[in-house]
Structure 1
Amino acid sequence: MVVEIAAFLLASVAASAVLWVTVLTVSFLVDWFQERAARVRFDADKAAVTVIEELASGKTIVVQGIFDKSANKFDESRKIEAGQVDPELRRVHSNHKVVIWS
């Protein structure tokens, strides 16, 4: 079920541009979420979400966005390709491909 959700979320932003970063950090993601905090705080249907996918090449794809649970789609998202992911972000995603941030 989680794999299906992750695949759906990754596919839902497939057409968007990819942002490339050398090392992806939690603070990089948190900064983006903080700029959009009011949208999540005041609307129970909105969730701050990341989805992580490890590629065979060793690179990592992360989809980050504000997901609208009632519409079953991202209101806003971005796809990030990273050469490396910091240990803290790996820990956050260690048990789940999809993480809801609060």
Structure 2
Amino acid sequence: MSISFEQFTKASKTHYELLLDADPSKKLVHSYLNRSYCIEAKEKQKVIGVIVLMPTRPETLEIVNIAVSEDYQGKGIGKKLIEYALEYARQIKMKTVEIGTGSI
């Protein structure tokens, strides 16, 4: 399986479908997308996963959402997204990456 990673600036229907699996509030998802770094994982041209990194403090990013298409879960895609996000954070000179979780 050959996976590529790209930053995206405008969320597509596919991005929202994935992100809403992890965070069921479209309003909330929309509110943080505009101020975040959004990265997609693709196999060929198909989006199979997304991760959203939001700056929270100087030199700090928070992973506010990560989602993988159901057909690709259990194949290490989430791990690869996190590894890519950590490398991306280093490249843009961030010192800390935090993971935020939602609660009901």
Normalising to structure 2: TM-score of the pair?
Answer: 0.31
If each structure's helix is expressed as a fraction of its own residues, which one has the higher value?
A: 2
If each structure's strand is expressed as a fraction of its own residues, which one has the higher value?
A: 1
Normalising to structure 1: TM-score of the pair?
Answer: 0.31
